[in-house]
Amino acid sequence: MSLIFILISIVSLGILRQKSVKTLFKEGVNHEKKESVFIAEIMEVNNKNDWKKAIVKIKQEVRGDIGLKNKKSVLYIKTYNSNIYPGDLLLVKSSIKKIKNKNNPGEFNSTLFWKSKGINAISFVSSEDFLWIKKKKGGRINSLIEQIKKSCELQLSKYIKNKYLGVSTAILLGDKSNLKTETKRSFGNTGAMHLLAVSGLHVGIIYTLFVFIFSFFSKFISKKNALFIILILLWLYALITGFSPSVSRAVFMFTVLGIAKSTSNSYNPINSLFFSAFILLLINPLSIYDIGFQLSYLAMLGIFIFYKPFVSIFYFKNLFLDWIWKGSMIGVSAQLITLPLTLYYFHSFPNYFLITNLGIMCVSSVLLILLITLTSVKWFSVFSKAIGFLASFILFILLKYILWIEDLPGSVATGYFLSFSVSLFLLCCFLFLVKSKKKYPLLVIILYLGTLSYTSYTRYQNITVKELCFYNHSSFVLSVKLEDKIYCFYEGENKELEKAKRLMNGYVRIHPGKIFYKNINKKKYTLKDKENHVSIYKEKSNILVKVNNKNYKVLKTPEKKKKNTTYINMPWINDGKGHLLKDGAFQINIK
């Protein structure tokens, strides 16, 4: 029955997803108009910065056939004095464009990210380019959510030290807007990013905590009533976080699991997990594209499949060792099944994730409880100061621990580049191995290990490759990789250097190496190794790159083509002769 249910679910979701995707992209082919005027209703907005990021619904096209009526779009609004709220109606004058990836190596997949939210268009407006048609006061629920969030943020800012405030806000509310880029990178490189994104970990901690508390009152409250109260408290926590997709998904998952466990004698957690996924995908089929959705459900599936068999391998009489062993196996179970998608999306793997998870296990529960308590006891300032001091100390230890792991040799392995088909094959190997039990396990293991070996071989090629990469960017950026050294040439001043660094952060995830930055405005550069001779210099407004006996010319302005030269056109040149960088980065292997 479970297999039939899963098959019916997959077919139904396929039909719904196909219909939804067709509806989403049926229109919206006229986004590239120079200027359009439209009325937009604010659906969601982040007022943290001067550029406010809003999700809007285009209610009416006043001028310009943009083909997005009643569709959602991303709108970045620059305004200093006024906040914008859900329900506001704006008259906007702006060009609106289809969201496209620049197809540079290792870049974030913006198209997929926004597609999962049903969005495929973006525009930017300054304060002079929009007018309020109607300012809508938020409804009672929205006003309540805003008040609770502001109250929590204010309480945290009072009693948590400023340098730890961004991390504490991310852990409690899932708001990462105040986090430094270096902090995000450190948590990502060590496999601890899930601590900063309010999701299954946080909901699981709160659920377990309340189950533990209510166990002391078992004489007065039945299990079903206790579960009902716990689920209400979980949804209140989701309310505080603004019903973010990750929290709502996790709370709904635990709601289904909790109800199924309490009402059924033949409780199967995997069936409950699939059922919760099925319902969420019925509500929004495009969630299937969401990376968080994919990883969270796979992680839970891994825990349900592998945790008990792994834990039963060893038994420790010592309670502390037993706790460490069980906690480690939760991490291993989740990591094992999410590995293919982790390598596919992020091209890297945190080698010390087990050590990281052990540290997180030691502090996450206590830290989250302290932060929740701190935001709940405003009336007792002395108690709040004590909790704030203790929470700040734990945050200090946590950050030092994360930085220590990041500084360990080989803390993160980069250079993995898996196709979606290979990732899916690895995932199917896991599931088939579990389902088949004693049938063909050796064959599946050999196929799985063989695929991993091939992946490791391609990683070695990515590390040792010698290549040029011309980037699809608003100014000239070129990287020359000679095995473990990468020379990045850019044009412009410090602002352009920062942009080049962001490009290189993506590149080194696929092609690891030590980066050296060179400003092409300064002089002619020559690079040599045993086999190659590379020179880069300006020729009037264009840039000439010579590699051994081959010439590559980057055109910023069109010119008459010469023989024996490969022409590379900057994104604004569209004559079609040579490689057009607007279509994506141009990579060339050399000896």
User: Of 207, 210, 206, which is closest to residue 171 (Cα–Cα)?
Assistant: 206
Per-residue pLDDT tens over the stretch 313-328 = 888 888 888 888 888 8
**DSSP-based three-state secondary structure for 456:** helix
Statement: residue 7 has pLDDT above 50: no
DSSP 550-572: EEEEEESS-----TTEEEEE-TT
Fold of 31-134: OB fold (Dihydrolipoamide Acetyltransferase, E2P) (2.40.50)
Statement: residue 25 has pLDDT above 60: no
Could you give the angle at which helices 140-159 and 223-240 cross, rounded to 10 degrees? 80
The model's confidence at residue 29, banded by pLDDT at 50, 70 and 90, is: very low
Name the maximum alpha-carbon separation found in the chain.
Answer: 89
**DSSP-based three-state secondary structure for 346:** helix
Distances, alpha carbon 347 to alpha carbons 19, 164, 339, 498, in Å: 32, 29, 10, 22
Statement: residue 119 has pLDDT above 60: yes
Per-residue pLDDT tens over the stretch 262-294 = 776 667 788 888 888 888 888 878 788 888 888
The model's confidence at residue 488, banded by pLDDT at 50, 70 and 90, is: very high
Residue 286 φ/ψ, nearest 5 degrees: -70, -10
Residue spans per domain, the chain: 31-134, 144-414, 420-464, 467-589
DSSP 386-417: HHHHHHHHHHHHHHHHHHHHHTSTT-EEE---
Structure tokens at 91: 């008259």
Query: What is the DSSP code (8-state) at residue 292?
Result: H
**Rounded distance between C-alpha atoms, residue 571 and residue 579, angstroms:** 10
Half-sphere exposure of 21 (CA within 13 A, CB side): 15
Per mean pLDDT, which range of 63-67, 418-422, 534-538 is the poorest? Answer: 63-67
Statement: residue 32 has pLDDT above 60: no
**Rounded distance between C-alpha atoms, residue 306 and residue 298, angstroms:** 12
579 neighbors 568 (Cβ within 8 angstroms): yes
**Residues 6+ positions from 170 with CB-CB distance below 8 Å:** 176, 178, 179, 196, 197, 198
Beta-bridged to residue 480, according to DSSP, are 468, 487
Average pLDDT, the chain: 81
Per-range mean pLDDT, top range of 168-177, 379-388, 400-409: 400-409
**Rounded distance between C-alpha atoms, residue 166 and residue 61, angstroms:** 40
